[in-house]
Structure 1
């Protein structure tokens, strides 16, 4: 295509010089003597090239491109055959030109750019998606899903897991009644099985595996007899690799380990899919708690809210390298068990602990401008 554009531009330039330039020169000769001097300084050629360039850009590039973008499939079918013929004809020339360009680059000590490096980078594709959404070509939901695909490759298991404090697990010595009670209360399909502590998960039980037992109850019930092997991954494992593990092992759940080998949480196939398509709720799930405003600058959020979500939604700059949830971040900054009323300043906001659930932060109030007001007051005092 570049060769065709170049040839067309050169041909039009020659046409402008020979045809329009001559006509403009003849016309300028009819003007008064003072204007005829323009012929000697090449005004006729410049005007001719300007006119042809305008016509070339408007009728040769912009207008055809707009029509083709409006009807891409139709014009692709029409133009593909002649373009294939043109490509076959000029292939020897393009090969020679490319070889010459590579030779010149090597003479000057430059490395030719591989073809795969000339395609769009992920950052460029993100810009294209954003522009397509702003232009109405992509729906907001489609753009969010594509953005989720890009972010998917940037996350690890620790960032998408369900933390250990929210794991519904079974003690290996649990009775059939205790097992059924937990299943009835939580309505999950898979349950980790642990021995002594949650840090020692030894297997996995599927709720459906209990159906044969309910039909013919054994004299002695044992979870060991029906539990399956459980897949474990480190918290640093990338979610792309976790997904590959699930596909290879035909599993839907893995235990996430911390750096000391203890249980950090669990990650499921649903967790991975939600990173791309958004929250997936079934008939037993409760809708996530939406941020509740208590004024123009005060927002109450759940402690389990992801830091990345808050940063994106409210324009905050809370660091999320070491923590996934805002509750975990506040806990880590305090360095002790939080109590109601504890305050932490981060980025351009102040976080106040509102509710505790045992050792877990249930909710926090965010003052979106308090931190900024404090810095402004401090600068005023210094002045």
Structure 2
């Protein structure tokens, strides 16, 4: 039986290690045994299940028969637990070494020969075990479909809940937020975290050197997009470090020669893929374009990293800058331009919660317009899921401030303001 276990283990490696050239040789061969190999591999899941069922059955039989024989032939009046465990471990090592390691090492060197020798027995076993194999495949497929079709929101919320439950008194808030950021990272698109075109600081390619130097001192950015005519026509990116050797140049210095090529990405690109692109291309800024090729927004390497580690403050960031204010445990006030990704990260929710109602909007202000089906007026309120929104400030163009109450119950938000 140990030999049978070795043959089945070797067959598993042999079948699934065959190259395309090996399979082509089998198809062209006049031998029935070789022709049958690619036929079995047409359904690899069924083949693998058959091999696993055979191998498991043989190994269990070896252990059961061995224990029975040991019990029958032993002359001792009683068998200690230690002796029994030692016997089981001895046979387990024998099965692993002689039934798994050695045959798989041999089959890996003689793939086609091993597969040819075992193909008849495997084909017969597959037919005999067809009902059992079909049942196992059905249950496996059902389980896979159940987990594959789960909404992303549910999966993310379950993982976040697991973080909360696994946290101890020694776990800091920053550590939990870091783990949650990692979980959300793979589901974000660049549109969800980009800086919108309204907030982009860019230079006109026709501006003079003294004009752009003044703007660089004003905004203190190290990389600035350069456009020709309109923000939708980005010509490149100006790196301030490239301009440093020319600070004393004449006013008519052609600084446009220092512009580097821009890197454009679509709105639907995943943030984790963008991070890989940043690393491979050695760039730190991407221009986000919409489906028509117009400029939709801008994203930097720092923006991407902040989605995991939180806000990064440098020497030029305003320490007292307030993105939002928290009135109490459940009540917040956000600017309308705040992205939904930042909003959800602050309140500890998933952006997918708003997927049914957000449309193509990526800001709280845009979400309000979608929920109200108009540009709401100050004082108007609406509810969605466990959130209640009250418009604090708005004009005839956009929503400026929104008060948000987060809670399972839909209480009047004015009572907690």
Normalised TM-score (structure 2): 0.58
TM superposition shift of 1:264: 0.9
Distance in 2 (alpha carbons) for counterparts of 1:342 and 1:127: 33
Distance in 2 (alpha carbons) for counterparts of 1:358 and 1:196: 28
TM superposition shift of 1:257: 0.6
Specify the alignment match of 1:186 in structure 2.
219
Q: Is the 8 A contact 1:191 1:204 kept in 2?
A: yes
Distance in 1 (alpha carbons) for counterparts of 2:286 and 2:196: 12
The DSSP-based 3-state class of the residue aligned with 2:292 is coil
Q: Is the 8 A contact 1:349 1:367 kept in 2?
A: yes
- How much is the aligned-residue C-alpha RMSD, in angstroms? 4.9
1:149 to 182, 194, 198: 182
The DSSP-based 3-state class of the residue aligned with 1:202 is strand
The DSSP-based 3-state class of the residue aligned with 1:155 is coil
The DSSP-based 3-state class of the residue aligned with 2:410 is helix
Q: Is the 8 A contact 1:255 1:266 kept in 2?
A: yes
Normalised TM-score (structure 1): 0.63
Specify the alignment match of 2:338 in structure 1.
305
1:128/1:90 Cα in 2 relative to 1: closer, same or farther (>3 Å)?
A: farther
Matched, 1:322 2:360: yes
1:282/1:87 Cα in 2 relative to 1: closer, same or farther (>3 Å)?
A: farther
1:256/1:281 Cα in 2 relative to 1: closer, same or farther (>3 Å)?
A: same
Matched, 1:352 2:390: yes
1:132/1:211 Cα in 2 relative to 1: closer, same or farther (>3 Å)?
A: same
TM superposition shift of 1:19: 12
Distance in 2 (alpha carbons) for counterparts of 1:362 and 1:351: 13
TM superposition shift of 1:137: 8.5
TM superposition shift of 1:343: 3.2
Matched, 1:362 2:400: yes
TM superposition shift of 1:332: 3.5
TM superposition shift of 1:238: 1.5
1:221/1:265 Cα in 2 relative to 1: closer, same or farther (>3 Å)?
A: same
Give a deviation string over 1:298-319, Cα, whole Å, max 9, x none.
Answer: 4312324343554562669544
TM superposition shift of 1:260: 2.2
2:132 to 108, 111, 122: 108
1:241/1:344 Cα in 2 relative to 1: closer, same or farther (>3 Å)?
A: same
1:292 to 325, 330, 336: 325
Specify the alignment match of 1:177 in structure 2.
210
Specify the alignment match of 1:271 in structure 2.
303
Distance in 2 (alpha carbons) for counterparts of 1:155 and 1:315: 13
Q: Is the 8 A contact 2:226 2:238 kept in 1?
A: yes
Q: Name whichever of 171-180 and 130-139 sits farther off.
A: 130-139
Residues 222-233 of structure 1 aligned to structure 2 (within 5 Å): 222-233=254-265
1:232/1:96 Cα in 2 relative to 1: closer, same or farther (>3 Å)?
A: same
Q: Is the 8 A contact 1:170 1:192 kept in 2?
A: yes
Specify the alignment match of 2:99 in structure 1.
93
- The one of the two structures with greater contact order (alpha-carbon pairs below 8 A, sep at least 6) is 2
Give a deviation string over 1:52-78, Cα, whole Å, max 9, x none.
Answer: 7xx9xxxx9xxxxxxxxxxxxxxxxxx
TM superposition shift of 1:196: 1.6
Q: Is the 8 A contact 1:132 1:138 kept in 2?
A: no
Q: Is the 8 A contact 2:192 2:340 kept in 1?
A: no
2:241 to 205, 208, 212: 208
